[in-house]
Structure 1
Amino acid sequence: MVRQGLLLLFRPGLAITATLLLSSSVAPVSSAQEMDKLSKITGIGEGWVAQYQGSAEGDRLLQEGGQLFQQGTAESLRQALQKLQSAHQAYRAAGDAAKEAITLLGMGRIYDLLAEKQTALDYFNQSLSLSRQVGDKTQEATTLNNIGLVYSDLGDKQTALDYYNQSLPLSRQVGDKAGESVTLNNIGLVYSALGDKQTALDYYNQSLPLSRQVGDKATEAITLTSIGLVYSDLGDNQTALDYFNQSLPLSRQVGDKAGEAVTLTSIGGVYYALGDKQTALDYFNQSLPLSQQMGYKAGEASTLNNIGMVYHALGDKQTALDYYDRSLPLSRQVGDKAGEAGTLTNIGAVYNALGDKQTALDYFNQSLPLSRQVGDKAVEATTLSNLAVLKRTQGNLTEALTDIEAAIAIIEDLRTKIDSEQLRQSYFAQVQNQGAYEFYIDLLMQLHQQNPDKGYDKQAFNASERARARTLLEILAEANADIRSGIDPDLREKESNLQQRINATESQRMELFSGEHTPEQANALKQELDTLLRQLDELRAEIRRTSPRYAALTQPQPLTSEQIQQQVLDNDTLLLQYSLGEDRSFLWAVTPDTVEVYELPPRAEIEELGEQFYRLMQNPEYRGESRNITVSPNIPQINASATELSQMLLSPVADKLAGKRLLVVPDGVLNFIPFAALPTPGSGDELTPLLVNHEIINLPSSSTLAILREQDAGRQLAPKTVALIADPVFERDDQRVTGQTSVKASDLGRMMVNRSADTIIGRPIPALPGTRQEAEAILGLVPADAAMSAFDFDASRATVANTDLSEYQMVHFATHGFVSSSAPELSGLVLSLVDEQGNEVDGFFRLHDIFNLQLNAQVVVLSACQTGLGDSIRGEGLVGLTRGFMYAGTPRLVVSLWNVDDQATAELMSSFYGKLLSQQMTPAQALREAQLEMLASDDRKSPYFWAAFTLQGEWK
C-alpha cells in the first residue's frame, strides 16, 4: 500500500534593504525526505511490489526508475522519467490500474521537480482518477496532497488548501498517521506563506506528535524546522534556534541532506538576524554544497540569496550582486515566485545603496506583482517599504507615504493574526527594530516641514501612538471583556498545572545555584523552563481562540490626537510624548486645544545621557549602602547629568510647563528616567526639580489611559480600605523561625538594606524590617475592620490566593521585588519562603500569578525594588509587573525604578498614606507631597531616596 506524498516546502527568509530591514528573501524549507519519499511513492524499499499480480517487466522498470530518482540530478531524473514511462505502459498493458496510478504519480513528481508544473498536474490528475477507480484511498490522499503542493508552488494557496483539505480526512479515514502528519505540515506551510503564522503553528503542533508516534524522524525534522521558522519570522530567535537544533541531528540521522541543508540555512538566518554575520555565513556555506549535491535547486537558490544578503550587510555590494545573480535564475527555473520576488527586492536594495535609483526601482517593480501573486505579504511589505525609502530620496514624498502606509497596513494585519501574546510582541518588536514606523513618522514630519498646515504633525503623532504598548492595550480590552468566562474547564486546569510546574522548576533552578552544580544541570533546567513558558503562552493563545467573548471582541485601536485631546486630557494637563529615532527624535506637547511637535537629537545621544543619569541614581555611593547613614551622596554629579538631560528633553517646551500636570509617555531609555528629578528648564543655579512645581504621571501610551478609565467606569467602590502584605520571612535562620521577635523599629537606623531580590539566586535574602514599620503606620490610619494585614509567615502566596482582594480600595505589597529581563513572566514579588517550622514554601509571586488576581483597587502600591521595570521591548515599552496589575483590575500603580532603600522607603510610604487617607489627596498628589517632604529633609534630599517611585496610570 502506498504511503503519503512528497513535501516541497518554501518560505520567505531574511534580507537587507537600503534603510529598512524586513523579511524579504528566500530561505526554503525543504521536504526532509524530498528524495527518500518518492522512493516510497514508487514502491522502492516498501516491499509492496510482491503484493500485486502484474507485469514483472513493469516492476523492474519501476524499481530502476526509483533508484535513478534517488540520485537527484537533473540527468538522473530524466532517466527515471523514461523508466517510469515504460513501466506505465507495461502496467497499462497488464490492466494493473493500481500500479499504473503509482507510475503516473511518480512521473508527476519528476515533472514537478523539473519545474514543469502544468505537466505535473496533468499526470497527478490521471493518477487521481485511477486511484479513485480502484478505491485506493491512501493513494488518493497522497495524490491530492501532491496536487496541493503544485498549486502552492504556483502561488495559488487557496486551491492548494482545497486539495489538502480533501487529502486530510482520507488519511484519517484509513488510519495513515504518517500521511496525515505530512498533510498537516503542508497546510501549516500555506498559512505561514500567507502570513498567518499562528494558524501555521497550530497545524505544525498537530503534525509533530503524529510523526513522532509513527517514528517518522524525517517528517519530524521537517516540522521542527517549520516551527522554528515561524518563531524566526516572528522575531523569537532563541526559540527558533531551539527547534532548529532539535531538527538538525534528526535530518543527519536519516541521511536527509536536503532537510539538513534547509535547517543549516535557517540557523544561518537566525544568526544574521542576531547580527552575527560571520556565523551566519559559516552556516550558509555548510548548507550550499548539500543542496548542490542533492540537485535541490530551490535550496541552492535560497542559500545563494542569503549569502548575498550577508555580503551586502558587510558592505561588499558587488559580491552580493554576484550571489543574487546566481540565485535568481534558479528560483525561476523551479518556479519559486516567492523566492524570485525576494531576490529581486534584494537586488533592488543593492542598486539603491549604490545610488542607481532607477535600476533599483525597476527591480522593486518586478518583485511587487510576484509577491502579490503568491500571497507573500511579508515580501510585499518589504518591497513597499523599500519603494518608500527610494521614492523619498528622489523627493517623491507623497508617493513614498502611500507605499509606507500600505506596508504598515500589511504589518498591522499580520500582527492581528497572532494569538500568542509573546509572539505578537516579538513580531512587533522586530518590525520596530527594522524601522518601518520610525521611517513613517520621520517621513510625515518631513512633509509637515514642507506643508505645516496639512496636519502631518498630527498624523505623525498618531503613528507614534500606533507604535507603542499595543499588546498592553489589547490585554486590557480582554480583561474588560472577561474573555476567560465560559472557556473549557480543562484549559483552565492545564493553565494552572503549567503555572505550578513553572514555579517548581524556577524554584529548583534557584536552589541549584545555592550549591554545587554543573553547567549541564543549569542548562537542562533552563531549557525545561523555557519549554514550560512556551507551552503556557501557547495554551493562553488557545484560550483566546476558543473564547466566545474573545471572538466577539473588537480589537482596540490606538487613539488619534483628537481623541486623546477629548478623552484623556484636561486643561490642567500637558501630555509630553517622546519618539526616539536614529536620525532625529521628536517630542509632542499636547493640550486639549493644541498639538505641537519639536525635533530632538538622535536616539543614540539621548540614550547615552539617559543611561548615564540612570546609572548615577543606582551608584552605591548614592545609596548609602554602608552602615553609616550619614554618607553624603555626590549630588553635584547627579545634578550635572540631570541638567544636561533636562536641557535635551524639556527645554523645547519650557514655556508650556507652568501650572501643568505632566503626563509623560516615554520611549526607549526614557522609560527608566525619573522625570520628577530632572531640573525645571530655566530654574538657574538652584536646579529646581520638576517635582517641586508639577505632578508627574507616567504612561506606556496615551491610549492606555482611555481604556483604563473604561475599565474603571461604573465599578462600585470596594467596601474596605486597604490590604497590606509586609515583612515576609525569607530564611530558616530568621529570628522569627527560632521563636524570637522581629527586628525592632529602634534598630532600623543601624540597618541599610534595599528591597531588591536581584541577587536571590544562591544567596541569603535579607529581611526587611522597614516594611513592617511602614505597614503598621498605615494600619494606624485605618479602622481595624477596614483593613487586612499579613505579616511574617502570613505574608505568603497562600494568603494572597485565599484573600478576596477585590474587597479593598488599596493593595500594598512591601517586600523584595525581582525583575527578569530575559523572561518577564518570571518577574514578581518575594513573599514568605519558609513556614513557622522552617519548612520551605513557594513564596515567589510571579507575573502569571498577578494576572490571575481579581482586583477592584483604586491603587496598588508595590513598595519594593524595580517594580516599575521589566523587559524593554521595542514597541511595547517595559513589560513587567505594571501590566499584570492593570490587567487584574487597577487603574493606577505606585512602582519603583531602581533598588530602593528599606528605611527611606518606609518613611516615604508612611507619609504617602498619611496624605492619601487623612488628607483625602489623590494617589498622584499624595506621592508628590511625600516626595517633596523627603526632598526638603537633610539626609534624604538625594533623588536616590525619593525619585525612584512613580505613578503609572490614572491621575484623577
Structure 2
Amino acid sequence: MRTLTRFSLVLAMALGAPVPSHAISGNEQVELAGSGRYEELRLALEQDAARGPLKTRDLHALCFAYSRTKRYAKLFECLDKMAANLARGDLRTRLFGLDDATPVLHLMRGEAQLELGNFAAAAEEAKKALAWFKEEGGDDADIELEGLALLSMASTLGGQRAEGEKYARQLEEVSTFTLRGNGYVSVKAMALARAHMALGNYQKTLDAIASDRLFSVHAFLDRLVSGAVVTGKNNWTWQELPRAFMTNRALRGIGQTGQAKAGYDQLLAIPQVRDNGEIYWIILFERGLIAEGEGRSDEAADFYKKAIEVIEQQRATIHTEASKIGFVGDKQRVYERLVDVLYARQRSADAFEYIERAKSRALVDMLASKQVASLQAGAAADAAREFDEAEAELTAQVPVSAQEGKQGQRAAAARAAGRLRSAAPELGSLVTVSSLPLAELRALLPADEALVQYYYQGQLLYATVYAGGEVRMLRLEAAGLDEDIRRFRELVDQMDPQAATLARKLYDSLLRPLEGPLAKSQRLLIVPHGALHYLPFSALHDGRKYLLERYALRALPSASVLKYLRKGKPGIARQMLVLGNPDLGDPKLDLPSAQVEAEKIAQRAGQARLLMRQHASESALKADGVRYPALHIASHGIFNARRPLDSHLLLARDGDNDGKLTVSELYGLRLDADLVTLSACETGLGQINTGDDVVGLTRGFLYAGASNVVASLWQVDDEATSQLMIRFYEALASHPKAEALRLAQLDVMKKYPHPYFWSAFYLTGSGQ
C-alpha cells in the first residue's frame, strides 16, 4: 500500500483536478498534493471539515496543505486535532500510506517550529519522531532520515553545533537499502545536504547532492530555462529549486564563485523563481555579495535593493524554506550591506532611509512572530477592519507552489497594506515596513534640535547627524563597544569612581566626532541602535561637562516614529492619574518612598486621582487611563530579555487582571496621555533584536497614544528618584518636558553627584 501510494503521488504531479464541491476523495487528495496545488487541497478539505470532524486520513492531508502554505496558526490547530484522533486510535493516513501517522505529526510540527525559529521545540519534535521509529522498527527509513536531518538542523541553527555534527554523522550511517530495494537514496541525499548546509560544510553539501544520481542540477536548470519542466500546474520547480539553490550556495562556500555566479544568474532568469520569495531574496543577496566582491558596487546595490523589496513584501521574518534548504538567511544583513555600499558612494540620504527601513522591518518581524492579537483593539472600526484584511492578505504572501495568480495576490496585498496605512498609519507601521525620508525631517524637528541616529553593525558604527537642514553621515570605530557599555553600566551601578574614565572614552567614541555638526544645537534627539539602547547618554563626559549639562535630551526608537507622535502640551496637567506603591503581595516589593512621592505629586497636581496599594491595580489603569492627560506610575518594572513583549509593570491584581501590564497588552490599549511617567525599575530596558528596535514598555506606551514617556534604564535609588520626580513636576510648570527632566536631574546631581542617582531616567517622545 505504501509503495503504491507514493507511486501515485509521483504520478499525480503531471495531473490536474478541479476543486470538487463534494467530499474530496483519496485519489483527488493525492493528485492535488502531488501536483503542488496545496491551496486547492486546503479549500476542498476545509469544505469537508465544515460538514463534520475529519478522520486522520483526511485531517493529515489538511494539515499537510497548511504546512505547505505556511499557515502556521491553522497548522498547529490542525495538528492538535490530529493528535487527538491518534490518541483515540484513529491512526491511518493516506498521503504516505502509513499505518500510524504519529511520526508525520511530529515531523510537521518540527519543520514548522524550525521555520519559526523555535529551534529547541523543533529538536524536541524530531526526537519524538525518532523515538517512534526506534520503538516501532520497520523499514520506514525516510522517517529516520527526515528526523535526523531535522534534529541536526535544529541543533546547529540553535547554536549547538557539536550536536548538529553528531546527528549529521548518524544520518550518514543510515542504510537506504530495504526489502523493496534501494529506494531512499534521494531522501538521504537531500537530508544530508540540508544538514551539512546548516553546518556550513559546503563540500559535504555538494557531495550529498551529487550522490543522488537521479538528479542533475544543470539538466534541471536547462529544462527550466527552456520551459520544458514548467508545464500546466505541476510543482517540479518547488521540489527542485531548493536543491539548485543549495548547489550554488555551496559552490560559493568553497570558493567557486564563478560557477555560483553563473548558476544564480540562471536561476534569476527563470520567472517561476520569483514566486518563491524566501529563496528569491537570498539569491538576489548572494548575487549582490558576489558583485560587491568583484568591485561592482552599483550592481551590488541594485541586487540588495531588489532583495529588500522582496523582503518587505513578506509579512514576517519566517524562514519558510529553512526546513528544505538547511539555510536561514539574515534579512537584516541585506540592509547592512546596502548601507555600507551607499555610505561608500557618499549617498547619506539614501543610507539614512534604509537604516530606518531596517528598524521598521525589525519591529514588524518581532510583532508578527508574536502574533499580537490585540493590535487593533481600541482602533476605529474602519481601521480595525482594514487591519484584519491587511493581516489576511499579507500573511498569505508566502511561497506555496507554482500556481497561477501570484502577481494578483501580491497586488491585493499591496492594496490592503495601502488602505491600512491610510486608515490608521500607526497600525500600518506595525504590519508593513515604513520609513521617514530625510526630506520630511525639516518640518518635524525644531530648528535648535539635532537628530543623531546610530546604526550599529558589530565592528562598525554609523552616526547620521541631521542639523540645520543638513545631513552628515560618519563611520565610527566600534571595536569593544559592547564591552565598554556593559562595563560602564556595571561601574555606574556600583557607584565606582572609575565610571568617569569610561564616560570620557564613550564620549570620545560616540560624540566627539560629531561636535562640528552639533555646534549650533541646544537639544539632541538621539536614536540609538543595538547595545546603545542600554547607554545613559546623559552621563557621557567630554572632560569638562556631562552631556546633560550641555543639552536637553530626548530619545526615539526610530526617526520614523516622529510621523506618529502627537505634539505635547506645555505645562503640567492638573488632571492626573497617579498609581503608587501597589500591593504586590510581598512586603519585599513595597516602595515606601514611591508612596510618599505619589502623594506629593498628586497633591501638587490639584485634580489628580491617587490610587495606592490594592487600588493601584492593572484594572484601574486599563479602565481609567484613557481619561487622563497624564499618568504617573510608581512601581516595579520587569524586563524579559527572552520574550520582550512579556516585559511588564507590576500593579495590584484583582479578579479581572493578573497585575502584570505587559507590552503586548499596551499594543491593544488606547491612551490620550501627553505624559506617562514610569517611576519604576528597569522600565526602559528592552530586547536588542537583530536590526534593532528595542521593544520595551516605552515603545508600548508610545504606540498606545502617549506623547512622552519618562522611564529608567536600571534599578534606581528610591529616595533619589522621589526627589527627582517631585522636582520634575515642579519644572513642568514653566518648561518643556525634556528640559524639565534635565533640570530635575541637574538638581539631584547637586546632592548625589554620581550618575547612578540621576542618569537612569530618560525621555522618549516629543519632548514638548
Report the AA paired with residue 30 of structure 2: N
Report the AA paired with residue 309 of structure 1: M
Residue pairs, 1:760-909, within 5 angstroms: 765-783=588-606, 786-802=607-623, 804-832=624-652, 842-909=658-725
Whether the 8 Å CA contact 2:591–2:718 is kept in 1: the answer is yes
SS at match of 1:950: strand
Q: Which residue of 1 aligns with 2:112?
A: 230
Cα 1:206–1:675 change in 2 (3 A) is: same
Correspondence 1:306 to 2:194? yes
Whether the 8 Å CA contact 1:856–1:890 is kept in 2: the answer is yes
What TM-score results when the alignment is normalised by the length of structure 2?
0.79
Q: Which residue of 2 aligns with 1:186?
A: 64
Residue pairs, 1:922-941, within 5 angstroms: 922-937=736-751, 940-941=752-753
SS at match of 1:873: coil
SS at match of 2:576: strand
For residues 904-936 of structure 1, give each alpha carbon's deviation from its aligned partner in whole angstroms, at most 9, with x where no partner exists: 1111111111111xx332221110100111223
Could you tell me which runs of 5 or more consecutive residues in structure 1 were left unpaired when the two chains were aligned: 1-37, 40-68, 70-105, 153-158, 193-198, 421-429, 449-455, 488-544, 623-633, 735-764, 836-840
Correspondence 1:695 to 2:582? no
- Distance in 2 separating the partners of 1:348 and 1:799: 59
- Distance in 2 separating the partners of 1:417 and 1:823: 16
For residues 710-759 of structure 1, give each alpha carbon's deviation from its aligned partner in whole angstroms, at most 9, with x where no partner exists: xx69x999985211111233456x5xxxxxxxxxxxxxxxxxxxxxxxxx
Residue pairs, 1:362-511, within 5 angstroms: 362-368=262-268, 372-373=272-273, 375-415=275-315, 432=330, 435-448=333-346, 456-470=347-361, 478=376, 481-482=379-380
SS at match of 1:229: helix
**Identical aligned residues as a percent:** 25
Range with bigger deviation, 857-866 or 172-181: 172-181
- Distance in 1 separating the partners of 2:541 and 2:661: 37
> 1:791: how far off?
1.9
Report the AA paired with residue 613 of structure 1: F
Cα 1:902–1:205 change in 2 (3 A) is: same
Q: Which residue of 2 aligns with 1:725?
A: 579
- Distance in 2 separating the partners of 1:308 and 1:417: 23
For residues 26-47 of structure 1, give each alpha carbon's deviation from its aligned partner in whole angstroms, at most 9, with x where no partner exists: xxxxxxxxxxxx44xxxxxxxx
SS at match of 2:452: strand
Whether the 8 Å CA contact 1:588–1:597 is kept in 2: the answer is yes
> 1:374: how far off?
8.4
Cα 1:944–1:141 change in 2 (3 A) is: same
> 1:394: how far off?
0.7
Report the AA paired with residue 828 of structure 1: H
Report the AA paired with residue 485 of structure 2: G
> 1:675: how far off?
0.8
> 1:149: how far off?
2.6
Whether the 8 Å CA contact 1:698–1:953 is kept in 2: the answer is yes
- Distance in 2 separating the partners of 1:329 and 1:458: 51
Q: Which residue of 2 aligns with 1:93?
A: none
Residue pairs, 1:518-557, within 5 angstroms: 555-556=428-429, 557=433
Q: Which residue of 1 aligns with 2:232?
A: none
Q: Which residue of 2 aligns with 1:574?
A: 450
Instruction: Decide which structure has the larger Cα Rg and report it.
Output: 1
Residue pairs, 1:127-146, within 5 angstroms: 141-146=25-30
- Distance in 2 separating the partners of 1:857 and 1:172: 46
Correspondence 1:322 to 2:207? yes
SS at match of 1:574: strand
Whether the 8 Å CA contact 2:538–2:553 is kept in 1: the answer is yes
- Distance in 2 separating the partners of 1:187 and 1:306: 22
Q: Please report the RMSD computed on the Cα atoms of aligned residues, expressed in angstroms.
A: 3.9
> 1:145: how far off?
1.7
Report the AA paired with residue 582 of structure 2: P
SS at match of 2:359: coil
Correspondence 1:296 to 2:168? no
> 1:388: how far off?
0.6
The one of 566, 589, 605 aligned to 2:465: 589
Whether the 8 Å CA contact 2:66–2:75 is kept in 1: the answer is yes
Cα 1:374–1:220 change in 2 (3 A) is: farther
Report the AA paired with residue 856 of structure 1: D
For residues 252-306 of structure 1, give each alpha carbon's deviation from its aligned partner in whole angstroms, at most 9, with x where no partner exists: 5665542343233122212221232221122233345557256334431222213
SS at match of 1:392: helix
Residue pairs, 1:663-742, within 5 angstroms: 663-680=525-542, 684=543, 686=544, 688-709=545-566, 721-731=575-585
Q: Which residue of 1 aligns with 2:95?
A: none
Whether the 8 Å CA contact 1:708–1:891 is kept in 2: the answer is yes
Cα 1:250–1:952 change in 2 (3 A) is: farther
For residues 138-179 of structure 1, give each alpha carbon's deviation from its aligned partner in whole angstroms, at most 9, with x where no partner exists: 7x6222222223322xxxxxx453355446546766975334
> 1:689: how far off?
0.8
- Distance in 1 separating the partners of 2:615 and 2:470: 52
Whether the 8 Å CA contact 1:479–1:887 is kept in 2: the answer is no
- Distance in 1 separating the partners of 2:382 and 2:573: 25
> 1:467: how far off?
0.8
> 1:401: how far off?
1.5
Cα 1:834–1:175 change in 2 (3 A) is: closer
Could you tell me which runs of 5 or more consecutive residues in structure 2 were left unpaired when the two chains were aligned: 93-99, 221-234, 321-327, 386-415
Report the AA paired with residue 302 of structure 2: T
Cα 1:562–1:832 change in 2 (3 A) is: closer
Whether the 8 Å CA contact 2:464–2:474 is kept in 1: the answer is yes
Whether the 8 Å CA contact 1:587–1:599 is kept in 2: the answer is yes
Cα 1:457–1:849 change in 2 (3 A) is: closer
The one of 203, 209, 213 aligned to 2:85: 213
Whether the 8 Å CA contact 1:181–1:208 is kept in 2: the answer is no
Whether the 8 Å CA contact 2:362–2:691 is kept in 1: the answer is no
Q: Which residue of 1 aligns with 2:492?
A: 617
Residue pairs, 1:103-122, within 5 angstroms: 106=4, 109-110=6-7, 113=10, 117=11, 120=12
Q: Which residue of 1 aligns with 2:511?
A: 650
- Distance in 2 separating the partners of 1:924 and 1:397: 42
Whether the 8 Å CA contact 2:557–2:693 is kept in 1: the answer is yes
Correspondence 1:952 to 2:759? no
